[in-house]
Each structure stands twice: as structure tokens, then as C-alpha cells.
């Protein structure tokens, strides 16, 4: 079964979908996006497919992965690994469909019957965020993630800023109670001193974990922050291979890693990262703020991975288009759990007609965020 052709579709809210076709007419789907850099990712996808994949045997996923990763001499990074990730997802989808089994069956079989999803919460004020949290709980989610209020922190900020964060998170905790898991996402914006202060200031609300207190370039400061707090630390959405995760795991500072199946080498590499993390007693909560295709790829890895604990998703939000013919595969119960899918490949059926219709939308651009003095900060 040879790879014969492919097609790319840039679709909202910020996705790039890849369709790969084989010599016997099978179609596989992947999501090789680099958010805000869709055309850059698309160029890399075409280059990798045309150079290393088209005309090759579709079953040889590991060989093709290694060829795409090693043969270009310059390895890794967000562009190449995001492109490789979506191709890898499509190859696994094809192989599963060809053999008539879900991808997780090809990776050792199920380790669980269900995986819990979490929902995002938003709001300009503590009251708005608390109201959104209550709405999500009423929808059946028992785990929520949101920002700790305003994230436009200065390098060294005033005590009032910490009070604002406590007010914001406290409003959510009061609204949903102690039985709901609450994750706080800092998006890497705090400086080292502010990360330390925020980690201490928000402990009283007992979050499930702190996500990306600092950007990956500052991962060396995480052991010091971990020594100051009992709250688990999580990071990894902007890390691109097991080689990136190796020093993080060896440092022993994080309790949860969050590799992204569309950036960290696809299903093949996500599985290897997760297995490596298990040896360090570190849990996996795959990052997935993308479409149902990327989510489906994550769930396949969750299914066969012992240390997977929870799954990010945005497909249950009103602003996200549904690119599947049947979204029931992601129906959750009243605690936010979904059943592991049993259909072949990624376990989904992509609505190609709708993908083509939506592919006329304008590209999504990452925001430019500035501090009060006009200096640029992380978004």
C-alpha cells in the first residue's frame, strides 16, 4: 500500500488538516498545524511528503518517521516537528483503517476504557469566569482549566496583582466547590520572580496543577519553583521531541507533561515521550487546543498509555466547527469521561465536504501582546 497523493486544508479556528491517499484508495487524516504559522507549516508538510513519503510503503511508519526526522540534517523545532506530526497521524490512520483496527490496538491495546476530558473557562472578570465555570460543570465536566485572571504581569509586579489573581481563582473555586479539579494556565508569561510569587499565592485554592509557569526556555528554574510549592507543575506544549523532554524529566521538577500530538512528532513520538515519562513517575495530559482530528489522535495514545490522566479539548466549545460526520465519538458522561473509540484508524469519520467548504476562511494570526510600557510579552 503506497502513498500516492495528499491535500492540505487551512480551516478555522486555527487548524491545518492533511488528507493522505494510498494506492488502494484509502484515506488518512492528520493535523500538522503550527498555530499562527499555517502557511509555514504547509510548506514544510509538502516538502517532507514530496521528498520522503509519496511513493513509499504506508505501513512502514517508524522508517518514514526516522527518514523525515533524520535525513534533513537539521532536526527538531516547531516547524519540522509540526509538519512531521500531522503526516504521522495520517499514516497511523491509514494503517489502522487498512487492518480494520483502532490505532491503539497497534500500540499494545487498551490500558483503559475511558479518558476524562477537561473544559476551558474564560471571562474578563472574576464573576464572568465563575459563571462560565458553573456552565461547564452543568455540561458534565469535572475538570476545568483557565487563566488566573489578568496575565499581563510586569517582570516585578505589585502586591495588588497577586490579590487580583487570588480574587479571580477564588471566585471560580467558590462557584464550583472543592470536588471540581481546577487547572491554572499561565501560558509562560510570568518572569522567574513572578512565577515564584504566583505559585505561592494561589496554593490555597488547591489546583490540580500549574501549567507553563514559565516558557520552556526557562525550564531550568522549575526545580526552584517546585521546591516552593506542593502544587504539581505541568509543562510541555512547546516542546517537540523526547530529546526535549529528557532533561526536563531528569530534573525531577514536573509532575505532568503536556506534549502536543500535532507538534511533538505525532502519535509515534507522543507514545515514546509518554513511556519515557512513566519511568520517572510523571503523568501525561496531552495538549490539544485544535480540531477533532488532533483530539482523536490524542485519544488513541491516551487509550494505550498507563500514565495518561486527562485530555485537553476544545471540540465541545461553540466557536469550534465540527469536521466529523458524527461527533458522538466525543460524547462525555456526567463526569466528563468519554469511551475509548472502537472504529478503525483514528476512530473518526472526517466530513471532507465540510472541510472543503470551511477551507475558504482567513488564516488565524497569533496576537501581539504588549505590557503597559509598550514592550512585547508572551501571549
**pLDDT at residue 348, as a whole number:** 98
> CATH fold of 3-100, please?
Enolase-like; domain 1 (3.30.390)
The catalytic residues are 187, 287
d(CA 298, CA 329): 13
- Helix or strand or coil: residue 9? strand
- Helix or strand or coil: residue 292? helix
**pLDDT at residue 360, as a whole number:** 79
CATH architecture of the domain 105-345 equals Alpha-Beta Barrel (3.20)
The whole-angstrom distance between residue 276's C-alpha and the CA centroid of its chain comes to 18
d(CA 122, CA 134): 11
| Contact predicate 267/88, CB 8 Å | yes
Q: Which three cell numbers stand for residue 220?
A: 531550568
H/E run at residue 12:
none
**Start-end of H helices in the chain:** 38-48, 61-70, 78-99, 103-106, 126-138, 159-176, 192-201, 222-226, 242-251, 266-278, 292-303, 352-358
Each domain of the chain, given as residue ranges in start order, spans: 3-100, 105-345
- The answer for residues whose C-beta is within 8 angstroms of residue 40's C-beta and 6 or more apart is 34, 79
d(CA 5, CA 27): 10
Nearest partner of 240 among 30, 73, 67, 81, judged by Cα? 81
Long-range contacts, 111-115 (Cβ 8 Å, 24+): 111/303, 111/304, 111/305, 111/306, 111/308, 112/302, 112/303, 112/308, 112/340, 113/339, 113/340, 114/337, 114/338, 114/339, 114/340, 115/299, 115/302, 115/303, 115/308, 115/310, 115/311, 115/337, 115/338, 115/340
Is the preceding omega at residue 288 within 30 degrees of 0, hence cis? no
Q: Which three cell numbers stand for residue 269?
A: 513520538
Q: How many CB atoms within 10 Å of residue 231?
A: 21
* pLDDT tens, residue order, the chain (379 aa): 999 999 999 999 999 999 999 999 999 999 999 999 999 999 999 999 999 999 999 999 999 999 999 998 899 999 999 999 999 999 999 999 999 999 999 999 999 999 999 999 999 999 999 999 999 999 999 999 999 998 789 999 999 999 999 999 999 999 999 999 999 999 999 999 999 999 999 999 999 999 999 999 999 999 999 999 999 999 999 999 999 999 999 999 999 999 999 999 999 999 999 999 999 999 999 999 999 999 999 999 999 999 999 999 999 998 889 999 999 999 999 999 999 999 999 999 999 999 999 997 677 788 888 888 888 887 7
Which of the 8 DSSP states describes residue 80? H
Nearest partner of 256 among 279, 235, 229, judged by Cα? 235
**pLDDT at residue 363, as a whole number:** 72
**pLDDT at residue 361, as a whole number:** 66
| Contact predicate 344/102, CB 8 Å | yes
Amino acid at each position: 500500500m503506497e502513498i500516492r497523493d495528499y491535500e492540505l486544508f487551512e480551516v478555522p479556528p486555527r487548524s491545518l488538516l492533511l488528507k493522505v491517499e494510498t494506492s488502494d484508495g484509502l484515506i488518512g487524516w492528520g493535523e500538522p498545524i503550527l498555530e499562527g504559522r499555517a502557511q509555514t507549516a504547509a510548506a514544510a508538510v509538502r516538502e517532507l511528503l514530496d521528498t520522503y513519503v509519496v511513493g513509499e510503503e504506508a505501513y512502514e511508519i517508524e522508517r518514514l518517521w526516522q527518514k523525515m526526522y533524520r535525513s534533513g540534517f537539521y532536526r527538531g523545532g516547531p516547524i519540522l516537528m509540526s509538519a512531521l506530526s500531522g503526516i504521522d497521524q495520517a499514516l497511523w490512520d491509514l494503517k489502522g483503517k487498512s487492518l480494520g483496527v483502532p490505532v491503539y490496538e497497534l500500540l499494545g491495546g487498551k490500558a483503559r476504557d475511558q479518558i476524562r476530558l477537561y473544559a476551558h473557562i474564560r471571562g474578563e472578570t472574576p464573576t464572568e469566569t465563575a459563571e462560565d465555570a458553573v456552565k461547564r460543570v452543568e455540561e458534565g465536566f469535572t475538570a476545568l482549566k483557565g487563566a488566573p485572571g489578568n496575565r499581563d504581569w510586569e517582570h516585578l509586579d505589585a502586591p495588588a496583582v497577586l490579590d487580583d489573581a487570588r480574587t479571580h481563582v477564588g471566585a471560580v473555586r467558590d462557584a464550583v466547590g472543592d470536588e471540581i479539579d481546577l487547572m491554572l494556565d499561565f501560558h509562560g508569561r510570568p518572569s522567574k520572580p513572578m512565577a515564584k510569587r504566583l505559585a505561592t499565592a494561589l496554593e490555597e485554592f488547591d489546583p490540580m496543577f500549574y501549567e507553563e509557569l514559565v516558557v520552556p526556555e526557562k525550564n531550568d528554574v522549575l526545580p526552584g519553583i517546585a521546591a516552593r510549592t506542593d502544587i504539581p507543575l505541568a509543562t510541555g506544549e512547546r516542546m517537540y521531541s523526547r530529546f526535549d523532554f529528557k532533561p526536563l524529566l531528569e530534573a525531577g521538577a514536573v509532575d505532568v507533561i503536556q506534549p502536543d500530538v500535532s507538534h511533538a512528532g505525532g502519535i509515534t513520538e507522543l507514545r515514546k515521550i509518554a513511556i519515557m515519562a512513566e519511568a520517572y513517575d510523571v503523568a501525561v495530559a496531552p495538549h490539544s487546543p485544535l480540531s477533532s482530528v488532533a483530539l482523536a489522535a490524542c485519544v488513541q495514545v491516551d487509550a494505550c498509555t498507563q500514565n495518561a490522566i486527562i485530555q485537553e479539548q476544545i471540540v465541545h466549545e461553540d466557536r469550534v466547527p465540527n469536521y466529523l460526520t458524527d461527533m458522538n465519538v466525543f460524547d462525555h458522561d456526567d463526569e466528563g469521561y468519554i469511551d475509548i473509540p472502537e472504529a478503525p484508524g483514528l476512530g473518526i469519520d472526517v466530513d471532507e465536504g465540510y472541510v472543503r467548504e470551511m477551507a475558504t476562511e482567513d488564516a488565524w494570526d497569533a496576537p501581539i501582546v504588549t505590557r503597559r510600557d509598550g514592550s512585547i510579552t508572551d501571549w
